[in-house]
Amino acid sequence: MDVDETTTAGGPQRASGPPLRVRPLTSRQERRLVTYLDERFLQCTRNFKKRSGSSTYHPSLTHTLPGNRAELSSTLRTLPDYLEEMRQLLALILQIPPVDPSTSLRIFYLLRLTGDVLSSIPGYRLTKPVSDPLEPVEPTERLEKSAQDSQRIRNTLRDLLDFLDDLDQAWLAVLEGQVWDPETAEGVSLQVGLQRITESSSPNGKPDGPPVNMDVDYKTSPPSQTDVTRLRSLLMTGESGLEEWLLNEKVAQQGGQGDDLTAMLDRMGLLDEFDDIFARTLDFLGGFGGDNAQLNERLGPEVPMGACGAVPL
């Protein structure tokens, strides 16, 4: 769903650069977006709950169990499936412009996504349960399976780290009140966003998109202290939850033998990145030691868009 409904007589047009969402959403656009996002989140919750209806499920099973049927009906059966769905939702949320009254909408749904993600990831298994753990297995077969499992787990963790890095970058942009640039996957200032819109043009030589109403004092507001406190809590709790989840999965994979968690991640070449989860956001928030005055000064006051050089289109 596109929050920008801009079209021309010849159909939808794209500017020469990536579309940056700077203009505030209309009331109709906000209503449609809220309805759509709420439904997407609801569907994600349903599919997450159905992901593993039975603890005895295993891909080798050919007969149908009630729980197995529920698992197969889910579109989010694996962690990579779940992360891909969250990527799509994240991309949509970041299209919401950081312009009042839409600013709070972007923060609300990004907080919702963050909370859902960090509470749902530990619900997935990195290892697959075996149908009969007492069944004898040849040593060569066991080694081959262990190597395959290790590579699959590394690939899944790599995917997870990439997603968490995207989420970290997204929060930094939102905290700084920036417009999201989907091409660079980074935030850019409102000045840059407005300049991009001014310089972009449609084939008929006219600027792309509806005109900006210069009689309205467009502003962007920083996140509230309540939002910031909730975000900090979500990230700190989420980090602890991920560490516990990885430890449990390591034990399940190795039966309590072999590397400790740090050694396992280091062997996979992922240790430094797990140590730096949400580093940008926590660095932004953590330098204030709970001092609300300093944090509010860093976040800044409401910024009128007129001061950013808005140009009538």
Token pair for residue 281? 């956001």
Lowest model confidence (mean pLDDT) among 151-160, 171-180, 193-202? 193-202
Half-sphere exposure of 134 (CA within 13 A, CB side): 0
User: Taking a C-beta distance cutoff of 8 angstroms, is the pair 110, 171 a contact?
Assistant: yes
**pTM for this model (two decimals):** 0.75
Contacts of 159 (CB under 8 A, 6+ apart): 79, 80, 83
How far apart CA 19 and CA 132 sit, in angstroms, is 54
Pairing of strands 179-181, 303-304: unpaired
Give the mean model confidence (pLDDT) for residues 195-208.
Answer: 47
**What are residue 301's phi and psi, to 5 degrees?**
-85, 180
Cβ-contact 178, 188 below 8 angstroms: yes
* Residue range 108-161, pLDDT digits in tens: 999 999 999 999 999 999 866 544 444 555 666 555 665 677 788 899 999 999
Confidence band (pLDDT; 50, 70, 90) for 192? Answer: confident
Alpha helices, DSSP H only, in the chain?
A: 27-49, 66-73, 79-93, 103-120, 139-175, 190-199, 225-254, 261-267, 271-275, 279-286, 292-299
pLDDT per residue as tens digits for the range 249-307: 876 666 555 567 788 888 889 999 999 999 999 999 975 444 555 555 655 555 554 43
* DSSP summary character for residue 21: -
State residue 56's pLDDT score. 37
CA distance 235 to 97: 24
What is the sign of the dihedral through the CA atoms of 228, 231, 232 and 233?
Answer: positive
**Sole residue written with tokens 């990439």:** 162
